[in-house]
Structure formats: structure tokens, C-alpha cells
Structure 1
Amino acid sequence: MNAAFASLSLAHLRTLECLLQLKNLSHAAQHLGCSQSALSRQLVHLRQAFDDPLLVRQGRGYVLSEQAEQLRAPLQAVLQSLSALPQPAAFDPARCTRRFCLAASDYVAEHMLPALVAALEREAPGVSLSFRTWQAGRYDLLATGEIDLATTLFDDSPANLHGRVLGEDGAVCLMHREHPLAVSTAVSQADYLAYRHVRICAGGDKDSFIDRHLRDQGLQRHIALDVPFFTATVQVLSRTRYLATLPEHIARQLCQRHPLTWRRLDFVEHSQRYWVVWHQRWHGSPEHRWLRERVFALWRESQFSVQGCPAPRA
């Protein structure tokens, strides 16, 4: 098999079928909606692929070569077989009955999931959802199909995953509004290490950059509580002098509804990217694509997202 034959596409075969039927370059070009010069270049490629002139000039027209005559019947059979392949139907969300599994933090579940469910009730009442708390690094659950879509934090999308950046944010230190550190404009490393910490262990990777920074200096913070929920973290901070490190836009939202405040970290800089990620096996699925677009749209509109959070205080 020569290289030209191996590179033949469906478009090449349709061009060849038209040429063999009409035996006229100008008529074939008109039928195919291309220029005669472009068709002539395709004919050169086809002649190389089959190692045969295919169309032989005779007088003012063309006749088919012996091999071209032999190609007509099998070529038509191939094209007819291809035309019989089922075509993807236009996706109608109102007729979709698929069950999707989403994974994110309890913050997303509390503030963004209700809007998504309401949108599905209006647009795709046959769709159902299950929600799981996302565990950082569990990309294998996307590969197996146990989870369809996840929102998380990382710098770059891992291999075999598709992703879309939803926004970017920095990390801050959250505390009770009467915490001793609340009198400062920022939290120093010494002050940060002087208090106990709550670590939110579910959802995206929010604070391991802090531990890496400290470990490089032979230091570590005192993590007194590992908990997977923002809601529990808020209650603990409201009753103790514990600290929590989390994204700034979430800290701002929590401070509006709870007796909390936040301060920037003056000893380390870190920017976090928010992603929606899915496995490549679902990338071409019309149903999955539709769900992703709804999630993207709702995220952009939500006051609780990184785009929708209130401006920082002066």
C-alpha cells in the first residue's frame, strides 16, 4: 500500500465516485462545489493512490481506464455501506433520561447545585443527578465512569482528562472575627504557626502548598482537625481560635453570613486555578457536552463563584 492510498479520506472516495460517474472535470467540480483546479489536484492524488490514470483523455472528453471501470462497483458499495452507518441524532435535553454523577465540595453542593437542579427541572426533567464529595487526586473515578464531572483545584489538567478553567484565586487565612490575629492586616508565618488549624480534606487541593512551603524549612503547622466539609469548618472557627486556609472568594462569602473574617498570608504567595474536568471518553458525548455547558453557564452567573464573589474590602 503506497502512502497516497493510505491517506485517502471519505472525501477523496466521494470525489472519485463523482468523477467516474460524470467523466467530466468541469461538471464534477460544479457538482462537488469546488473549483476545477482544486479538483484537478485531487485527481492527481487519486492517480497516485491507485497508480493508474483513471480518466483518460479522448478527444474533448475523458473515458475510464480499465482499472477505473473495475473500481466503480466496489466504490459504490463502499459508499453505500458508509451512508448506512447510523448518524448521531440531534440532542434534545427534554428527552434525555441519563443519570449523571457530579463531584465537588460541600460548598458547591450548598450554593451551586440547587441552581443546576432547578435548570434541569426546567430543561431536562428526565435527567437525574447523584453528588459525591470530590477527593483530591481521584482521577481514576473519572476514567471508570463512576464520576462524570468534577470541579477541583490544580495547576494543570492531568493526562487523559479534558478540563476548562473556571477562574483563578489566591488563598487566605480564615478565622473568628474576634481572633487575636484579626487586628493584623496580614498573617505572618510565626503567627500562622502559633495556632491550631482546620484542614478541609475533601474537594480540591486547597492548602498543601502551605505544607510544602513549611516542610522546605523543616517546619509544620498543627492540624488539629481534618474535616471534609466547609459547613463544619465554619462552626469550628466560630467557636475556637483555630485557623483555616482556603480560597479567598469562599472566605469572603462565608464572612458575610458568619462571625468570621479573613486575612492575607504575607509569607507565601500562591494562585489556585478552578477547573471542571471530565475524562476524554465522554468528550464527544452530546449529553455530556450539554451538561458541561450548563455547569459552565451557571458557574459564570453564580454569586458564589470566583467570578461572582464581592470585591475585596478597602
Structure 2
Amino acid sequence: MNPAFNNLSISQLRALVTILEVLNLSRAAILLGTSQSALSRYLAQAREALGDPLMVRQGREYVLTERGLEVLQPLKLVLQRLDGISSPTVFSPATCERRFCMAGSDYVAQYILPELLNDLAVVAPGVSLDFRTWQANRFDWLASGEVDLATSMIEETPADYHGRIIGEDMAVCCMRAGHPLARSNVLTQQDYLAWSHIKITMGGDKDGFIDAHLRKSQASRTIKLAVPFFSAALTVLQQSDALLTLPEHIARTWAGQAEVCYRPIAFMQHQFRYWVVWHSRTQPSPEQQWFRQFIYQHCRGSKFLSPGDHLPLTLA
């Protein structure tokens, strides 16, 4: 195509389409709210660019040339697509057909996903979900688009991420119901270190604060089992004298369902924060905004505590 065509603006292309549709410069000028002389210049530029008169006189009227007929519909389609790009996206969960991916712990999968999927089938029946076990500091999953959002306990993140607090919770020590420490109201550091421990390694840091505190007094605990899953930790907990440090809301749920109990940790206090986290590249997407809110509401309504405002996450 002639390089002169590159000099035609979108408004000039719109004017050209109108001219070729009505085949009358005076009428086209009225429709476009511009002057006939301006449209005459646009038509001249288009003729030069395309190497064709585009419309010719036939008696007292104009008709399109073959070239004019060829370019009219493609130009209209191009302008329609540009209008679609510039128009705000109207999103409806009921008609959305998309597969989202979220990451979290097996606890989230067990206690939150079932109700979430039931509601999803009603609100957005065309939406599908992949669930991935979240690993600490795998923010590259969010950046690359492998994962749309993550739910986890997070202390700090790189820049370019956003998050919303799902809730806050305190650390407690969980044990089998018949454990000798179950008779105590609170646990001292001596009590805590007298027994071996289970450590959950997947997701956010659930008990690293304990080890950091103990190192200050040159003490340490014995980790008998390190396991990535809450479900496996619970099974071992019920069948051994090992202790498990974890958030109170999880311990409270387990105490109502299994032969376990929990006690406060007297020698220190630690507060957890749970987040829904996503990358900045998905921030403005209407589909992602709906999905984030949907997940947030289900996490808040299930097992988590105090709500928080939307905050950008940055390195501490």
C-alpha cells in the first residue's frame, strides 16, 4: 500500500467510510458535523493512498468503483474493532467461560473449595477452576500468569503485587487430646521444648517466628516430622505426642472434628495475617476483579478473621 495511507488518521478513515456509504460530500459533511472542503481533502488523500478514485460520477450521482467496494467493508470492520478496544469491557459472571487458577494450602482446598465450587456453579456456571498448592515465595507464578491469585500467610512480597487481608489470627500449640500438656492452661517455653514437633512446610511461614525467638536464647526444638500438608500433620498429631504450632482458627476447627486440643503459647505471641495476593498486570481486568472478590468473600465467610482493606504489598 502507498505510504501516503499511513498519514490518514482514524477520524479521516471514519470520514472516508461515511463518504463511501452516502456517496455525497454535502450529506456526509452534515452527518459528521464538518465542512465539505475538509471531506474533499480526506477523499483526495485516500484516493492518492489507494491509487483509485474510489467513487465516480454516474449522471447526477456518484457510484463506488470496484476498488471502493473492496475497501469499504474492511474499513468498517477495522473501525468496529477499534471501537471495541476503546469501549469498557462489560463483564457478566453468568456468561463468563474462563479457567482460573488459584493457589493455597490443602486446608483451603478441604474447607473452603467445596462451598466455593457450589456457589460458582450457580453464579458463574461457565467458569472452571484449577487449584495449585502454594509454595512460599513463588510469586513468579503470579507474574507469569500460571496462577491468577494466591491465598496464604505472607510477611513480605516483591514490588508490583497487590493484596487484600482476609483475616488475622494468633499462633497456638496443638496436640492430641490425651497429651500430658493438655492439662496445662498455657505452655511455657520449657513445656514447649520438652516434646518433639511437627512442622508444616508448604505455603506461608507458620512457625519460623518460633525458631527465630528460640535462637535468641540459644535454644532449639526437635522437629520430628516436616510435612507439606495439613491433613497429614493432623493424622500424625492424633497418633503421637508431637506438638504442632499453627493458627488458632485451624486448631479450633480441628478440635471440633478430631481428638486434638490446643493451648496458648505463654512465652511469646505472634499474629498471622492472611492475604489474597495478585500481580499488578491483572489489577484492571474486570474478570480478575470479580474472581478476586469472589475468592475473598468465601475465605472471609469460612474460617478467617478480621477483614482488611486493599493494600499494595511491598518489601518490608
Structures share a fold, TM > 0.5? yes
Structure 1 residue 305: deviation in Å? 2.5
Contact map agreement 1:152 1:205 (CA 8 A) in 2: no
Q: AA paired with 1:212?
A: A
Deviation, structure 1 residue 217: 2.1
C-alpha separation in 2, matches of 1:141 and 1:298: 22
Deviation digits for residues 176-229 of structure 1 (CA, Å, limit 9, x no counterpart): 111111111111111111111111111221111011111222222111111111
- 1:274 maps to amino acid: Y
Match of 1:207 in 2: 207
Aligned to 1:178: 178
Contact 1:154–1:274 (8 Å) recurs in 2: yes
The residue matched to 1:202 in structure 2 has which SS?
coil
User: TM-score, normalised on structure 2?
Assistant: 0.69
Matched, 1:244 2:244: yes
Aligned with 1:94: secondary structure?
helix
Structure showing greater radius of gyration is 2
Residue number in structure 2 paired with 1:116? 116
Residue aligning to 1:260: 260
Corresponding residue pairs, total: 231
Aligned-partner Cα distance in 1 for 2:217–2:143: 37
Distance 2:193 2:175 in 1: 14
The C-alpha deviation readout for 1:129-174, integer Å capped at 9, x for no partner, is 1111111111111111111111111234542110001111110000
Per mean C-alpha deviation after superposition, the further-off stretch among 267-276 and 238-247 is 267-276
What code does the residue aligned with 1:137 have? N
Q: Percent identity?
A: 49
Identify which range, 88-97 or 238-247, moves more after superposition: 88-97
TM-score, scaled relative to structure 1: 0.69
Structure 2 counterparts to residues 41-60 of structure 1, below 5 A: none
Superposed, 1:1-314 pairs within 5 Å as 84=83, 85-302=85-302, 304-306=303-305
Contact persistence 1:195–1:241 (CA under 8 A): yes
**Maintained 8 Å contact 2:167/2:300:** no
Q: Write the distance in 2 (CA, Å) between the matches of 1:300 and 1:154.
A: 16
Deviations 1:32-69 (A, max 9, x none): xxxxxxxxxxxxxxxxxxxxxxxxxxxxxxxxxxxxxx
Q: Say if 1:165 and 1:275, in contact at 8 Å, map to a contact too.
A: yes
Contact persistence 2:168–2:304 (CA under 8 A)? no
* Cα distance between partner residues in 1 of 2:305 and 2:259: 21
- How far 1:307 sits from its partner (Å)? 5.6
Aligned residues of 1:200 and 1:226 also touching (Cα < 8 A) = yes
Letter in 1 for 2:304: S
Query: 1:247/1:235 Cα in 2 relative to 1: closer, same or farther (>3 Å)?
Result: same
Counterpart of 2:20 in structure 1 is none
Higher mean Cα deviation, 91-100 or 171-180?
Answer: 91-100
Amino acid at match of 1:275: W
Q: Distance in 2 between matches of 1:155 and 1:273?
A: 8
Instruction: Give the whole-Å Cα distance in 1 for the aligned partners of 2:305 and 2:110.
Output: 15
Measure, in 2, the Cα distance between the counterparts of 1:160 and 1:307: 25
CA–CA distance in structure 2, aligned partners of residues 162 and 212 of structure 1: 27
Task: Determine the structure 1 residue equivalent to 2:68.
Answer: none
* C-alpha distance in 2 between matches for 1:92 and 1:154: 31
Q: CA deviation at 1:252?
A: 0.5
Alpha carbons 1:157, 1:163 under 8 Å: kept: no
